[in-house]
Amino acid sequence: MTLPPTPSQTIGPFFAVGLPWPDGPEVVADGSPGACWIGGRVLDGAGDPVPDALVETWQADPEGRFAHPDDPRGPASGGSGFRGFGRCPTDAEGRWAVRTVKPGPLPAPGGGVEAPHLNVSVFARGLLGRLVTRVYFPDEPEANAADPLLGSIPDRAVRDRLVAVADGDRLRFDIHLQGDQETPFLAI
């Protein structure tokens, strides 16, 4: 008996088997006050869409609390079905989106305040682990200027890649895995 060679890729893409679920992109329910869509495309180093990636978001509620019992300020209110976590697979064009609300500011380690943001994890073929980044809001210029993470990036053009852009009634945040426009990723 002869078996075919094992594929050369080290992981996946196996995300569509069990990780996505129907309401995964809905961090809040439809009609929630302040709800908005944030999304974009996941692109490879050549600028081509990555059709089999998975984007996860984790965030605080509008009061700056997480939907987790270990939040030292107390858990999120849970109003409007807020769960703090979203998960969206990319489509054939690399598109992803989550319906959410803008989180409140967070206390920063060592004092100070972090600007409202979403924590984002990207899983894709060829990655042995996840890539982690953040999405900041364009209508928070003062808070963004004072944010410790954004302030640690000296190149303004690179720093601006972490700020979503208004795109009609949505916010757009494209994730570039490599190349000249690579999204800044965090070493976690």
The pTM score is 0.87
Q: Which two structure tokens, joined as six digits, stand for 107?
A: 């206390």
Domain boundaries, the chain: 24-176
Are 82 and 38 within 8 A, CB to CB? Answer: no
CATH topology of domain 24-176: Protocatechuate 3,4-Dioxygenase, subunit A (2.60.130)
Beta strands in the chain (DSSP E): 36-43, 54-58, 85-89, 95-100, 106-107, 113-114, 117-123, 131-136, 165-167, 170-172, 175-176
pLDDT in tens, 56-102: 999 999 988 887 777 777 766 666 678 899 999 999 999 999 999 99
The per-residue pLDDT for 8 is: 53
Cis ω for the linkage preceding 13 (within 30 of 0): yes
The per-residue pLDDT for 1 is: 63
pLDDT in tens, 118-131: 999 999 888 878 99
- Cα atoms in the Cβ-side hemisphere of radius 13 Å centred on 47: 2
Percent of the chain with pLDDT over 70: 86
Q: Residue 74: phi, psi to the nearest 5? A: 100, 150
